[in-house]
A and B are shown apart, each in its own frame.
Chain A
Amino acid sequence: MTASTLKPSTLPSATTSPLAWVRSRLFPNVRSGILTIVLAPLLVYAAYRAALFLFVNGRWEAVTRNLTLFMQGTYPRDQQWRIVAQIVVLALAFGIGAGTASAVRADVAKEAGLALPRQSPLSVIRRFWSLIAFVLLLLYFASTATPWLVVAGAVAAFLVGTLARFIPTSLRNLGWTLAALALVAGFQVVSGTVGYSWIVTAIVLAAGAWSTFKFENVEGRRALLYRALVAVAAWVVTYLAYTQLVYPGVGWDYWSGLHLTLWVSSLAIVLSFPLGLLLALARRSTLPVLRWLSTGFIELIRGVPLITLLFMGQYILGFMLPQGTNLSSISRAITAMTLFTAAYVAEIVRGGLQSIPYGQTEAALALGLPTGKMMRLIIVPQALRAVIPALVGQFISIFKDSSLLYILAINEFLGVRSLVHAQADFRAVAHAETLVFVAIGYWAFAYAMSKESQRLEVRLRAGRR
């Protein structure tokens, strides 16, 4: 009998009946059946108690009445437009980033002559379902229309941002520049031009302008001059925009709530990355002094808990600076968290560096590349690509560890609870409710990131074949 004569009806059907499913999955043998019989009533009872707590007994007004407090803490209410603007700008940044990335993928696929699988909106929802569920929970708890407007604005900004995929290939860097710029601007909108932080934006914009407008049809030196002029113009525009529009802003010493949690963990990972990269390179270096110094630093930091470093920041760092320097509690905590994360990032990057076959180094040496160029062009890019999932894991871990600021009496997402329970109505009640809410918040972000890192891992592994 050949395959063509097989009738579809004789093939085992792919979908089994519910009864068969129950038998094969829940009662395949006696022991497994007993396990099911023990677990099922326990599960039903737990679900019953949970539902009772969630829908009947729980005093959720401790959360609903203080939703603003949980989100932005004690951020000045008359400056609230900054947070709203920030959310919209960040959504725009992610939109531009996503649009540009998909355009890059489309280009690559076209060059390889492959059809690009289209991403359905459903797959995006499945990827970020925990975050979407958290936002829906917030909207459910909201008592005013503002959160609805903010979410609508953010979605609209994201969709506008994805239009970046229509930017022509020759100006591709423009998309990335705009995304980076919007990210930094999102930070600047809430912090204002405190000190010289606007310089960061100016640098991003100038670098973006430099790399986007290459003036390839202009000959020789003149192209360089044009590019420099564009960069300077970008710098000046940034300066004017920031001093005129954003000044004076609210420094991070006055931030709290989920807003602070997200920014503190982002800053710690962004600031620690260059430091960790340098430490990893030093630890792999052939120069013994550099190796000893970085090994000593890394092992010392990894041997002690984060809280001891935070204590050092709180109790000692102030004494280590000249008299009169006044670093805020949050700045000192960010310093401690950056040093702590740098040691872990260094170990992750070292793992990546070690995973690169020695043949790569030999090939680079055979091409006559000096050590610096070899690292920059050959080794480090491959090593970083290999450790992206681990770095996301470290980001999740520092995101969770940012809750330690609560111990230093800084009111981040967990710490704002102390403000809620200082209110007369909730002094000794509703602790479970606020803690469950906080746990769901942390969980939604960490879960989405861990799923994303697993996806990245699969994709990168596929690329290495």
Chain B
Amino acid sequence: MLRVVGQLAALVVVFVVFRWLIGNLVTNYSRLNIGFDFGFLNVPTQFQIAYHPEFNPRLPVWRMVLVGVKNTGLAAMFGIAVAGVLGLVIGIGRLSQNWLAAKLSAAYVEFFRNIPPLVAIVFFSFAVFLYGPLPHLRDAIEVGLPGTASTLLVLSNGEWGVPGLRNTGNAPLFGVLALVAVAASAAVWVWRTRVNERSGEPHHRVLWSLGVLAVVLVGAYVILDGPVVIDWPQLSENRRRLASGFSVNSGFMSVAGALGLYTASHVAEIIRGSILAVPWGQTEAANALALTNFQRYRFVVLPQAMRIAIPPLINQALNLTKNTSLAVAVGYAEITTLTQTSIGNGRPAVQSIVILMLVYLGFSLLISLILNIVNRRLQLVTR
């Protein structure tokens, strides 16, 4: 009886508090004539997004949300890639018997783990790019491709031009065929693995699948008569913008780079801890089998360490994705920055922030889903 009453009381208290907060919100909003509908998503954005010349202010707000989600995803993806590779190298480096490598890795971890990621992002954005050693776009450094007239890189303090791909008509079809090629090589990989498991003959699966990939891609490229060509970066006549090539802006590099470096320190600690958690007998057994150092890591230690490392690594990927919201300090056009600008332009705050939170909850769910699948596959290997 007391339990039921207590729970009801808790519910009532929570309800009353919410009722009070929401009631105030409704009163204040109706006083200011702001609605609670999501109709503003169809209204023109009315502002230009930096480094997005294809986006014009007449496009509706929901298109802006899509741009934001895309940029958040891009920064998170590159950040996770940097953090993963660097973290693995440094985590293994800390366990190296080479004194210099071990101490350098330890210093890296102790430094980056203990500074705020925002300081790292602001440092990249202000000290490396905006007020850093690179010149303004009009005096940009152009690195030529040796032996040709085309430019390989255009370096400035605002954006970098790198070689991109240009569609000459058949690019969408080529994209579809590229996907087919990847699927085919994956299938070949699985087939070779099965053959190896059944008959014991060498699988050579890397050669096989790369071969299939190359054959299909080259074949498609020749048949479609060069669907994409390399688009070398080039400044426009008045040197105000990049006329061609793929533009990477400093905001993106700051966010992905700084978060990659910051998270790498956490990843390194996880890797180190997981390797140390693999029983020493495994290493001794590998040594008894006369495996080389590389083989011992590749076939004995790392597979077992990874199984321990996956759950905390999921957490780090999630943290990195959530930390991309710090880009708002340097104006990189991801979802938080765009939401803030859009609220500043008079869009209703409550609905905008609800959308913002839903986007991040969606990213969180997506990442934990992907990595949980990976985790399950790794766990199944155990006997």
Q: Are B131 and A304 in contact (CB under 8 A)?
A: no
CB distance from B333 to the nearest CB of A (A): 15
Say whether B29 faces chain A, with CB atoms less than 8 Å apart.
yes
Chain B residue nearest to A314 (CB atoms) is B349
Q: A315-B349, A406-B329 are in contact. Are A40 and B114 (CB under 8 A)?
A: no
Q: A289-B10, A304-B360, A312-B353 are in contact. Are A414 and B131 (CB under 8 A)?
A: no
Chain B residue nearest to A399 (CB atoms) is B116
Q: Are B118 and A287 in contact (CB under 8 A)?
A: no
Complex CA distance for A414 and B127, rounded to whole angstroms: 14
Which of the residues B14, B28, B328 comes within 8 Å of A307, measured between beta carbons?
B328
Chain A residue nearest to B123 (CB atoms) is A435
Interface segment, B93-101, B199-207, B208-216, B273-281?
B93-101
A-contact bits for B325-365, CB 8 A (1 contact / 0 none): 11011000000100110010000011001001100110011
Q: Are B7 and A401 in contact (CB under 8 A)?
A: no
Q: Are B360 and A39 in contact (CB under 8 A)?
A: no
Which of the residues A31, A293, A429 comes within 8 Å of B10, measured between beta carbons?
A293
Chain A residue nearest to B98 (CB atoms) is A32
Q: Are A407 and B328 in contact (CB under 8 A)?
A: yes
Q: Are B118 and A414 in contact (CB under 8 A)?
A: yes
B-contact bits for A24-47, CB 8 A (1 contact / 0 none): 011010011001100110010000
Q: Are A311 and B100 in contact (CB under 8 A)?
A: no
Say whether B27 faces chain A, with CB atoms less than 8 Å apart.
yes
Chain B residue nearest to A429 (CB atoms) is B131
A-contact bits for B55-89, CB 8 A (1 contact / 0 none): 00000000000000000000000000000000000
Complex CA distance for A307 and B255, rounded to whole angstroms: 15
Q: Which of A418-465 contact B (CB under 8 A)?
A: 428-429, 431-432, 435-436, 438-439, 442-443, 446-447, 450
Say whether B126 faces chain A, with CB atoms less than 8 Å apart.
yes
Q: Are A403 and B116 in contact (CB under 8 A)?
A: yes
Say whether A322 faces chain B, with CB atoms less than 8 Å apart.
yes
Say whether B322 faces chain A, with CB atoms less than 8 Å apart.
yes
Q: Are B99 and A26 in contact (CB under 8 A)?
A: yes
Q: Are A404 and B326 in contact (CB under 8 A)?
A: yes
Most B CB contacts (10 A, CB to CB) among A288, A303, A316 go to A303
Say whether A266 faces chain B, with CB atoms less than 8 Å apart.
no
Chain B residue nearest to A449 (CB atoms) is B114
Q: Which of B94-142 contact A (CB under 8 A)?
A: 96-101, 104, 110-111, 113-120, 122-123, 126-127, 130-132
Say whether A319 faces chain B, with CB atoms less than 8 Å apart.
yes
Q: A32-B98, A432-B127, A439-B115 are in contact. Are A304 and B7 (CB under 8 A)?
A: no
Say whether B3 faces chain A, with CB atoms less than 8 Å apart.
yes
Q: Are A442 and B116 in contact (CB under 8 A)?
A: yes
Complex CA distance for A311 and B119, rounded to whole angstroms: 19
Which of the residues B14, B101, B126, B339 comes within 8 Å of A293, measured between beta carbons?
B14
Q: A25-B98, A414-B116 are in contact. Are A303 and B364 (CB under 8 A)?
A: yes
Contacts of B7 in A (CB 8 A): 287-290
Q: Are B10 and A414 in contact (CB under 8 A)?
A: no
Say whether B6 faces chain A, with CB atoms less than 8 Å apart.
yes
Complex CA distance for A40 and B103, rounded to whole angstroms: 12
Contacts of B356 in A (CB 8 A): 308, 311
Chain B residue nearest to A396 (CB atoms) is B114
Complex CA distance for A443 and B112, rounded to whole angstroms: 9
Chain B residue nearest to A445 (CB atoms) is B114
Categorize the interface residue count of chain A. Answer: 35 or more
Which of the residues B11, B27, B100, B114 comes within 8 Å of A26, measured between beta carbons?
B100
Complex CA distance for A361 and B147, rounded to whole angstroms: 78
Say whether B31 faces chain A, with CB atoms less than 8 Å apart.
yes
Q: Are A431 and B127 in contact (CB under 8 A)?
A: yes
Q: A307-B336, A400-B117, A442-B116 are in contact. Are A316 and B122 (CB under 8 A)?
A: no
CB distance from B139 to the nearest CB of A (A): 15
Contacts of A8 in B (CB 8 A): none
Complex CA distance for A428 and B322, rounded to whole angstroms: 30
Say whether B375 faces chain A, with CB atoms less than 8 Å apart.
no
Q: Which of B169-190 contact A (CB under 8 A)?
A: none
Q: A311-B353, A407-B329 are in contact. Are A400 and B360 (CB under 8 A)?
A: no
Q: Which of A264-309 contact B (CB under 8 A)?
A: 287-290, 293, 300, 303-305, 307-308
Say whether A9 faces chain B, with CB atoms less than 8 Å apart.
no
Contacts of A2 in B (CB 8 A): none
Say whether B283 faces chain A, with CB atoms less than 8 Å apart.
no
Q: Are A305 and B322 in contact (CB under 8 A)?
A: yes
Say whether B25 faces chain A, with CB atoms less than 8 Å apart.
yes
A-contact bits for B262-304, CB 8 A (1 contact / 0 none): 0000000000000000000000000000000100000000000
Q: Are B361 and A303 in contact (CB under 8 A)?
A: yes
Q: Are A446 and B114 in contact (CB under 8 A)?
A: yes
Contacts of B336 in A (CB 8 A): 305, 307-308, 311
Q: A39-B104, A308-B336 are in contact. Are A400 and B27 (CB under 8 A)?
A: no
CB distance from A280 to the nearest CB of B (A): 16
Contacts of A435 in B (CB 8 A): 119, 122-123, 126-127
CB distance from A423 to the nearest CB of B (A): 14
Q: Are B24 and A40 in contact (CB under 8 A)?
A: no
Say whether A323 faces chain B, with CB atoms less than 8 Å apart.
yes
Chain A residue nearest to B28 (CB atoms) is A319
CB distance from B275 to the nearest CB of A (A): 18
Complex CA distance for A36 and B103, rounded to whole angstroms: 12
Q: Which of A171-219 contact B (CB under 8 A)?
A: none
Q: A429-B131, A438-B119 are in contact. Are A308 and B325 (CB under 8 A)?
A: yes
Q: Which of B13-42 contact A (CB under 8 A)?
A: 14, 21-22, 24-25, 27-29, 31
Complex CA distance for A26 and B97, rounded to whole angstroms: 8
Complex CA distance for A289 and B5, rounded to whole angstroms: 11
Chain B residue nearest to A282 (CB atoms) is B10
Contacts of B111 in A (CB 8 A): 443
Contacts of B98 in A (CB 8 A): 25-26, 28, 32, 35-36
Q: A304-B322, A442-B119 are in contact. Are A39 and B101 (CB under 8 A)?
A: yes
Q: Are A40 and B10 in contact (CB under 8 A)?
A: no
Which of the residues A36, A320, A396 comes within 8 Å of B25, measured between beta carbons?
A320
Say whether A321 faces chain B, with CB atoms less than 8 Å apart.
yes
CB distance from A57 to the nearest CB of B (A): 12
Q: Are A303 and B360 in contact (CB under 8 A)?
A: yes
Complex CA distance for A367 and B322, rounded to whole angstroms: 47
Other 11 A-B pairs with CB < 8 A, given A439-B119, A450-B114: A287-B3, A289-B8, A290-B7, A315-B349, A320-B22, A323-B28, A404-B326, A432-B123, A432-B126, A432-B127, A442-B119
B interface residues (Cβ-Cβ under 8 A, vs A) = 3, 6-8, 10-11, 14, 21-22, 24-25, 27-29, 31, 96-101, 104, 110-111, 113-120, 122-123, 126-127, 130-132, 293, 322-323, 325-326, 328-329, 336, 339-340, 343, 349-350, 353, 356-357, 360-361, 364-365
Q: Can you list 9 contacts pairing A with B, beta carbon distance less than 8 Å?
A: A36-B100, A287-B10, A305-B323, A308-B325, A319-B28, A323-B27, A400-B117, A432-B123, A432-B127
A interface residues (Cβ-Cβ under 8 A, vs B) = 25-26, 28, 31-32, 35-36, 39-40, 43, 287-290, 293, 300, 303-305, 307-308, 311-312, 315-316, 319-323, 396, 400-401, 403-404, 406-407, 414, 428-429, 431-432, 435-436, 438-439, 442-443, 446-447, 450
